[in-house]
Structure 1
Amino acid sequence: EIYKDAEEAIKDNPPTRLFQRAINGAIIACGYAEILLSKALADYGPDAQVGYPDTAYYLPVIRSLSGEEVTQLGQLQPILNRMRAQVKESEVTFEMARLAGETTAYAAEIIETVHYLRYGHRHVEPWTGFIKDPIMRKYGILLVDWTIPGEGVIVGKAKTSEDLGNIARELMSLNIKTFFCNEVCEQALEVKVKAGKENCQFLLGNFTQLVHAFSYNLRAAMAFGGIEPGLRDHHRDYQRRRIRAFVLHLGEIDDVQVAAHFAAIFLGFPVICDTELPEDHQVPGWYESHPDYETLVKYAMEVRGLEVEDIEVSEPLVIGSTQEEKVIAREGKDSKFKERVQLVLK
């Protein structure tokens, strides 16, 4: 049980305020999903075809965790009802907060599905929204075999765009796949972070588009881990063991975002916030505060169990296995990356 140590640490003084916020956020998310779904059913009818573009995994969060092959709009209402029913407002516990997180992931998937039904795939590079299967297959294998050693999900808004750029470039230099959601996307573009699939830096979008990071990881488990759809706990175990992801939340946090954080925790990903959190808003090893941007990435990686080793590299290039076989020129210098571990400089 991966939460056992945390449960033991908080048993005498559980952060019930934090858990209550997660529960409240899940209820709000379900309410919003209900409104959008009801309107879509009225506009399109229950037989309307739904799904994401270029994927064999239907609605991947739902497909992986409960096994349903959702193809029609009308199938979503009973799923939403079932997930809302598992959130018990009277049970303010760590376990219930995690279930609230799971419910929030489902609600976000449903909201995004309705958006895709109404508007289609409107994203223009470097924005991604839902990440299609060919990209997931090309880069997902590098994540699960640890060629890419880990994954960072950055949510919110950094104190400055320059701060966000520094965090993003540090993650890239460590060869960490990165997803961005909310204002950090605009900040990344402002400071010219090298976003795009080639650099494994994905600008998802805003609000519920965070679910596309979870979707990517869960599809990787089905594609490369051999985890069958509907084996919920097997998927969670695979996410914790193989994906090695963590969430960095920058800036203010509302209840729905807390619920989304617990969706990450439900899948085995710890959450590190840059805001000062009181003790009754933290869970050791899972939901922590670390305001120092200089050491934020290193701290998050250590919490996730990723070893960080400091080395000096005189040439200030962002390098990693995602740049294999690329030639990079800067001020008369060029570097070619050969194979997975050999770097030849001239």
Structure 2
Amino acid sequence: MSKLVAFAAIQGGYKVVSQVEGELENALESMSADTKVEFPNTGYYLPVIYSLTGMKVETLEDMKAPMAFARKLLPPHIKGKNHLPYLGPLLDAGMASILAYEVKEALRIVREPDFYFPEEDPDLENGKKWVGPADDIILRKRGVEFVDGSAPGFAAMVGAAPNPEIAKMIVEDYQKRNLYIFCAANHNGTSLIDQLLEAGVQIGWNTRIVPFGPDISSAVFALGFANRAAMAFGGVQPGDYKKILMYNKNRIFAFVNALGDIGTEWACAAAGCVNWGFPTLADTDIPEILPTGICTYEHVVANVPHDEMVQRSVEVRGLKVTVSEIDIPCAFGPAYEGERVRGKDLHSQMGGGKTQCTELVKSADMKEIEDGKVTVVGKDIPDLKEGDTLPLGIFVQIAGREFQEDFEPILERQTHHLVNYIQGVMHIGQRDISWVRVSKAAVEKGFTLKDIGVVLHAKLHQDFGKILDKVQVTLYTDKKDVDKLTETARAEYKRRDERVDKMTDDDVETYYSCTLCQSFAPNHVCTVSPERTGLCGAYNWMDCKASFEINPTGPNQPIQKGECLDPVLGQWKGVNDFVYKTSRGAVEKYNLYSMVHDPMTTCGCCECIAATLPGLNGVMTVGRDYTGDTPCGMKFTTLAGVMGGGAVSPGFVGHSKYNITQGKFIKGDGGLLRMVWMPKMLKEEIKERIEARGKAMGVPDLYDKIADETIGTTEEEIRPWLEEKGHPALSMDPLM
């Protein structure tokens, strides 16, 4: 390792730490020492500092401790003679810089609270292009993608490319590989984000191009996101820096692309990222660090041509990425799923209340359909003028020796994200309330409705090839054809819903596991039964059954229930045996129907978390979309930190929204009649199901008896209201 590399990184470390010390001193002189410090709507204080040191920075005064810690990390300056080419001093200098950068960014938020726009999409119309640190709602939502593999990693890109065309080329190549692109810093006053906007590329969390901030210090938000993922999903405790860093090296596949001239401040940031196992690849002639050690392979690689940057980065990080080529004129992949087609970009649309748009998947006899046949009956996109609308019916027929009728709704649900994967096409809703918007850019590239059929045929074969042999797609755009398909589809939807809703846990002898989240929460084992959907809300019993048929060695394995040990709490010997083995002995047993007695383990991906409220003899639940206070005294993010990561936490349990109104929901604790509080947004979302379930339990007005934040957010505030409404929980047997 050259003396020049060590000199640049260590000099950079001293420069950054000294600069931020000065900024902190100025802040303490001009503001109160107890001025509140936080990254908005996060439960992890300053996350890099908190995760690595355990220090809780809540005020300006609290910033002194991590800055003193950073100062102590700085190694001796490089000597003119007898230079020791060791990596350790660089890592320490880099880590000192990262800690200082996080303090610097926190100070910016204190001084300029409106500098960042902390939403999924930046507010470009008002000049707010930088989103800053991800809040906990975004972390939970996007973290799931790192769990299930739809986001295999992220590229932290700093600086700017030589021109917008090269910037777009590199970023779109990462998008095609399903990676996130975290952007920070600028080169000679121009940022990569500026170049992408000039090239007409949509930015924001929804397109996986995240504009963190304009300075190199903003890159700390990417490391904060990675460390929060380790705490939220992996159950790593704050202050356990070895586990945090190893977790990131082994599970968060990230790397840095440095575009432009690298000075000492960039050098120390790059050295800091090596602590996480994240290598740096640059397009300039800088000294390299090629021996392996901390990173999987090389640490710093220089002179990477722009047309090789993506492939070389993936190789150096040791990341395995699958790129699926679909024969359509537009780019295709999960990176485009969150892309918006706004009014000024719109060419034409189908559904969305303006016309009817219906989707139906049905099984067919092998002789009835032709594999790969895609037909458009009626007008297609080339027949439309800008601003036109069309009705649309998407009818997918599937034949296969292993295909079952139960799989139809599972494959039907794929339409939503697969159509969204097409660049320039936006899909909302499902069943008979779908909405498809097509952009001008997609039409200019040659997109037609037939391309939807091409995508569905190719991806259903790729993802579900084990259970199907033929896929035929017909797209109707004449109103009479669409109305006829809609009538057929609605009858089918009704039949399916009745069949699923009538299934009970007693009807089957086999449950299914889901261990997708073990990549983040190693001890977590989710048991999915007909009356207990997966915690994340994405998997029900039929989904898992189909998944096992497709991939017998995958995360959804059959569990033979075996002897029933407790029918009220929901405990079976076969489930316990499976959980003990699959959690590697960490969890001996749990109950499916209780949150008080040995509840199921919980991971960070759960849609909701329920908690007991002993003072009200009831329970509450909160969804991850709600950011306010709750009667248990903890917000969703705090709850997830307390009992996530695969732990059994009596008094708390993670669950899906749908599970709230299933028959066995906390049956062992009294069921849904115990529910005394939930956020208004969640309550309204499942109103019809609460009303139906309440009626079945003999309390037809249960919906009206459940409090929400408009009534209060403490037990003391909502008790009088519950008493006035005569909530059943108040008169039930003691909960604890």
Normalised by the length of structure 1, the TM-score is 0.89
CA distance in 2, matches of 1:273, 1:341: 36
Q: How does 1:93-242 map to 2 (within 5 A)?
A: 93-124=86-117, 125=122, 126-182=129-185, 183-207=191-215, 208-242=217-251
Instruction: Classify the secondary structure of the residue corresponding to 1:68.
Output: coil
- Conserved 8 A contact 1:172-1:318: no
Which residue among 304, 313, 334 is the counterpart of 1:321?
334
Deviation readout 1:189-210 (Å, 9 max, x if unpaired):
1112221111221011122111
Q: CA deviation at 1:311?
A: 6.2
Instruction: Classify the secondary structure of the residue corresponding to 2:236.
Output: coil
Q: CA deviation at 1:221?
A: 0.8
Aligned-partner residue type, residue 144 of structure 2: I
Gaps of 5+ in 1: 1-13
Which of 17-26 and 306-315 deviates more? 306-315
Which of 188-197 and 308-317 deviates more? 308-317
Q: CA deviation at 1:52?
A: 0.9
CA distance in 2, matches of 1:287, 1:71: 35
- Conserved 8 A contact 2:75-2:92: no
Q: Structure with the greater relative contact order (CA < 8 A, sep ≥ 6): 1 or 2? A: 1
Q: CA deviation at 1:149?
A: 1.0
Change (3 A) 1:309 1:130: closer
Whether 1:294 and 2:307 are equivalent positions in the alignment is yes
Q: CA deviation at 1:184?
A: 1.0
Could you tell me which residue of structure 2 aligns to residue 306 of structure 1?
Answer: 319
Instruction: Classify the secondary structure of the residue corresponding to 1:317.
Output: coil
CA distance in 1, matches of 2:233, 2:38: 22
Aligned-partner residue type, residue 219 of structure 1: R
Could you tell me which residue of structure 2 aligns to residue 256 of structure 1?
Answer: 265
Whether 1:43 and 2:46 are equivalent positions in the alignment is no
Which residue among 1, 7, 17 is the counterpart of 1:30?
17
Q: CA deviation at 1:231?
A: 0.5
Which of 326-335 and 68-77 deviates more? 326-335
More helix by share: 1
Give the percent of matched residue pairs that are identical in Structure 1 and Structure 2: 28
Could you tell me which residue of structure 2 aligns to residue 11 of structure 1?
Answer: none
Change (3 A) 1:316 1:38: farther
Could you tell me which residue of structure 1 aligns to residue 56 of structure 2?
Answer: 69
- Conserved 8 A contact 1:17-1:281: no
Q: How does 1:76-95 map to 2 (within 5 A)?
A: 76-90=63-77, 93-95=86-88
Whether 1:333 and 2:342 are equivalent positions in the alignment is no
Deviation readout 1:214-250 (Å, 9 max, x if unpaired):
1111111111111111110100001111110011101
Could you tell me which residue of structure 1 aligns to residue 282 of structure 2?
Answer: 273
- Conserved 8 A contact 1:63-1:69: yes
CA distance in 1, matches of 2:419, 2:17: 45
CA distance in 2, matches of 1:134, 1:325: 24
Instruction: Classify the secondary structure of the residue corresponding to 1:247.
Output: strand
- Conserved 8 A contact 1:33-1:108: yes
Instruction: Classify the secondary structure of the residue corresponding to 2:100.
Output: helix
- Conserved 8 A contact 1:144-1:242: no
Which of 317-326 and 75-84 deviates more? 317-326
CA distance in 2, matches of 1:308, 1:139: 18
Moved over 6 A (4+): 336-340, 342-346
Aligned-partner residue type, residue 231 of structure 1: D
- Conserved 8 A contact 2:9-2:94: yes
CA distance in 2, matches of 1:28, 1:341: 51
Aligned-partner residue type, residue 100 of structure 2: A
Instruction: Classify the secondary structure of the residue corresponding to 2:307.
Output: coil
Gaps of 5+ in 2: 79-83, 123-128, 186-190, 292-297, 338-416, 426-437, 466-470, 476-736
- For the aligned residue pairs, the C-alpha RMSD in angstroms reads 2.3
- Conserved 8 A contact 2:10-2:77: no
CA distance in 2, matches of 1:120, 1:318: 37
- Conserved 8 A contact 1:141-1:220: no
CA distance in 2, matches of 1:151, 1:194: 17
Aligned-partner residue type, residue 298 of structure 1: Q
Aligned-partner residue type, residue 152 of structure 2: P
Could you tell me which residue of structure 1 aligns to residue 682 of structure 2?
Answer: none
Q: How does 1:3-22 map to 2 (within 5 A)?
A: 14-22=1-9
Q: CA deviation at 1:306?
A: 1.4
Could you tell me which residue of structure 2 aligns to residue 5 of structure 1?
Answer: none
Normalised by the length of structure 2, the TM-score is 0.43
CA distance in 2, matches of 1:250, 1:276: 11
- Conserved 8 A contact 1:15-1:283: no
Aligned-partner residue type, residue 257 of structure 2: L
CA distance in 1, matches of 2:66, 2:276: 19
Change (3 A) 1:314 1:106: same
Instruction: Classify the secondary structure of the residue corresponding to 1:72.
Output: coil
